[in-house]
Amino acid sequence: MNAITPPRTAPADHSPVAPLRQRGQHEVFCGLTSIIWLHRKVQDAFFLIVGSRTCAHLMQSAAGVMIFAEPRFGTAIIEERDLAGMADLHEELDRVVARLLARRPEIRMLVLVGSCPSEVIKLDLGKAAERLARLHAPATRVMHFSGSGIETTFTQGEDNFLASLARELPATDASAGPSLMVAGALPDVVEDQFRRIFDALGIGPVSFLPSRASTGLPPIGPGTRVLLAQPYLGEAARALEARGATVLSAPFPLGEEGTTAWLGAAAAAFGVEPGRFDAITKAGRRRAREAVARHRAELEGRRVFLFPDSQLEPSIARFLSREAGAEIVEIGSPYLHRQHLAGELALLSPGIPFSEGQDVDRQLDRCRAARPDLAVCGMGLANPLEAEGIATKWSIELVFTPVQGYEQAGDLAELFVRPLARRAALKLGA
Ligand code: SF4
């Protein structure tokens, strides 16, 4: 049994936190999981995992319970004879891709997705993508990214995909004026709402990355201002900056406060008058506050422990504590990108314990000792914690559910109310 190690608390002056670093056993999904939401977003893309039967099973079982649309992903399975070096994997991959594109001519973007097995045998998917791009241009663009479980956590799949996409974007004309790019996959309904607000503020042109169609990739250049829609896009932000863009610093658009600060960062960069900003966002802010207020009674004073899983944890903690009145016991995050999270950390109470990285046994010990009302955690930890009487919320739901923006603030709060209500109902029925 591990001793319970107390995590560090954020300093009172909001200088970068020095969290407890956890370097133990991980308990997270791999980056392949991100294909489940990415393939729904980019509607003419196909994600071809180059992996093992395990990868195929993960995708089938994870996607099987979470999607209801015709999937646009598959697995090119590396067989034992491939691992034994008896087959030319590049030739086999070329054959698989040729068959796939002949059968599915509507595919405009083919994304080769690396896995643990493809990385272990050092299959160079970059080279494969270059070769296949030459073979299938101009009908199909071919690119690649790593979704392997050797990465930190499942949201890094999207980060790696967007970093790869950033390198494919066309350059803006030399004469191009300022433009705004929102980076991070958002549900279409949320994207449309934000587009309407930016239009009303007079901010534009506005593009979203990833775009809904790979044939409409937005241009990028020194005039591009990037607003990150997700906190886990460190690699993507670096790749966009390498193309000349400037990343705006802001909290993330969860809840009324986060959404206002996020929109406000764009408004400030585009010189929108404060009075105009206030007038345009006033109704949305009010609706968001009212929607969250309807759930506040169930969340106020509830003690919440956030296990490291999605990298959304600091933003969720900020929303739950500041807008819903919850008490945060500990915030764990697989990785803390201090620069992109500066806005979030400044809003968090200095007394909240932080941990970065994973050491699942120690974190479980601390959670059990604290006996929170709710644990936000990965799917693998939920059942054991529920069996011990602690209500849980899968953090992966936050990337599958529309939760960003004013109109979704109430739904975001409700996501955390449901497991508490279920547990209360179970207690009553016992
Ligand atoms: S990429 Fe690695 S962690 Fe993910 S399913 Fe395949 S083998 Fe497992």
Question: 74 pairs with which residues across the strands?
Answer: 48
* CATH fold group of domain 179-275: Rossmann fold (3.40.50)
And the tokens for 287?
A: 């609706």
CA distance 176 to 183: 19
Per-residue pLDDT of the chain (430 residues; tens, 9 = 90+): 344 555 555 544 444 456 777 776 666 788 899 998 898 899 999 999 999 999 988 888 776 655 445 578 888 888 766 666 656 888 889 999 999 999 999 999 999 999 998 988 888 999 999 999 999 999 999 999 999 877 668 899 999 999 999 999 999 988 889 999 999 999 999 999 999 999 999 998 999 999 999 998 999 999 999 999 999 999 999 999 999 999 999 999 999 999 999 999 999 999 999 999 999 999 999 999 999 999 999 999 999 999 999 999 999 999 999 999 999 999 999 988 888 999 999 999 888 999 998 888 999 999 999 999 999 999 889 999 999 999 999 999 999 899 999 999 999 999 999 999 988 887 766 6
Question: 273 pairs with which residues across the strands?
Answer: none
Q: What is the CATH number of domain 31-151?
A: 3.40.50.1980
Structural contact between residues 308 and 357, judged by C-beta atoms closer than 8 angstroms:
yes
Distance (angstroms) between ligand 1 centre and the Cα of 137 equals 30
Is 116 annotated in some ligand binding site?
A: yes
And the tokens for 402?
A: 């529309």
DSSP class per residue in 87-112: S-HHHHHHHHHHHHHHH-TT--EEEE
Nearest to 306 by CA among 226, 415, 368, 393: 393
Verify whether ligand 1 is closer than 6 Å to residue 115 (CB atom). Answer: yes
Distance (angstroms) between ligand 1 centre and the Cα of 366 equals 28
Every domain of the chain and the residues it spans? 8-27+288-429, 31-151, 179-275
Is 367 annotated in some ligand binding site?
A: no
Is 377 annotated in some ligand binding site?
A: no
And the tokens for 255?
A: 């809840």
Nearest CA to ligand 1 atom 5: 55
Q: Which amino acid is at 412?
A: L
Distance (angstroms) between ligand 1 centre and the Cα of 98 equals 25
Nearest to 324 by CA among 378, 262, 256: 256
Question: DSSP code of 155?
Answer: T
Q: What is the CATH number of domain 8-27+288-429?
A: 3.40.50.1980
179-275 shares the fold of 31-151? yes
CA distance 118 to 77: 10
Say what the pLDDT of residue 82 is.
64
Please give the model's pTM, rounded to 2 decimal places: 0.91
Verify whether ligand 1 is closer than 6 Å to residue 54 (CB atom). Answer: yes
